Amino acid sequence: MNEKTTTEKMDFYTFQKTLRDDTQTWVDLANESFGLDLTVNVSFDLKGRTAGQAFTSKGLIKYNLAAYNVEGGIEHLINHTVPHEVAHMVQYNNPQWPNDRKSNSSHGNYWKLVMNHFGVEATRCHSLPLPTARTVKKQFKYVCGCKEWNLTAIRHNKIVRGTRVYSCPECKVVLRQNNNQLHY
């Protein structure tokens, strides 16, 4: 497929439709080229600095629509991220290739083979300035034997659920909550 360029910014609905349509076009090419019968669903709920992500066992590709607001983001998602993620779907759903991550690493030889077949540069990462997924706001006070710690809500909840224990790397004492006080 030829690279697409846009001189005018397409509207948000058209952007989503283009991502869906182009994903299907790449999947159709992959099915024809590699003798597969892939079906891929698309969602737009990916957050953070990742432009796209393939969930190969679920037949799902997620795209980060924050790229819509970044200079060059529309073209990058259409021309690079879409084939990049479809290549992951091919590499892990091709029954003739190893399905384990040791023999068939995420951006290894099989993925590169698909990208080369697609005629797209096999680059692992993008350079779009996408925003982080979230900002840590709540912090919980914990203490050990030598000082006070501020833990994120995620770590605090793991302690509360009993799924994780944190210890001070210096005094080796298990952290315990200090009066359930919050820091903001």
Q: From first to last of its 184 residues, what are the pLDDT tens digits of the chain?
A: 666 655 467 899 999 999 999 999 999 999 999 999 999 999 999 988 888 999 999 999 999 888 888 888 889 999 999 999 999 999 999 999 988 878 888 899 999 999 999 999 998 888 787 877 666 678 899 999 999 999 988 899 999 999 999 999 999 999 999 865 554 4
pTM, rounded to two decimals: 0.70
Q: How far is CA 8 from CA 11, 28, 49, 72, 75, in A?
A: 9, 28, 25, 12, 11
State whether 111 and 167 are in the same domain: no
Edge-to-edge order in the sheet of strand 148-152: 148-152, 139-143, 176-183
**Is there a domain that residue 177 lies in?**
yes
State whether 94 and 32 are in the same domain: yes
Q: Tell me, what amino acid is at 78?
A: I
Give 104's contacts (C-beta < 8 A, 6+ positions apart). 91, 92, 97, 98, 110
**Is there a domain that residue 147 lies in?**
yes
Q: How many domains does the chain have?
A: 2
**What is the span of the domain harbouring residue 174?**
139-183
The catalytic residue positions are 85
3-state helix, strand, coil in the chain (%, to 5): 35, 15, 45
**Do the beta carbons of residue 74 and residue 6 sit within 8 Å?**
yes
State whether 29 and 86 are in the same domain: yes
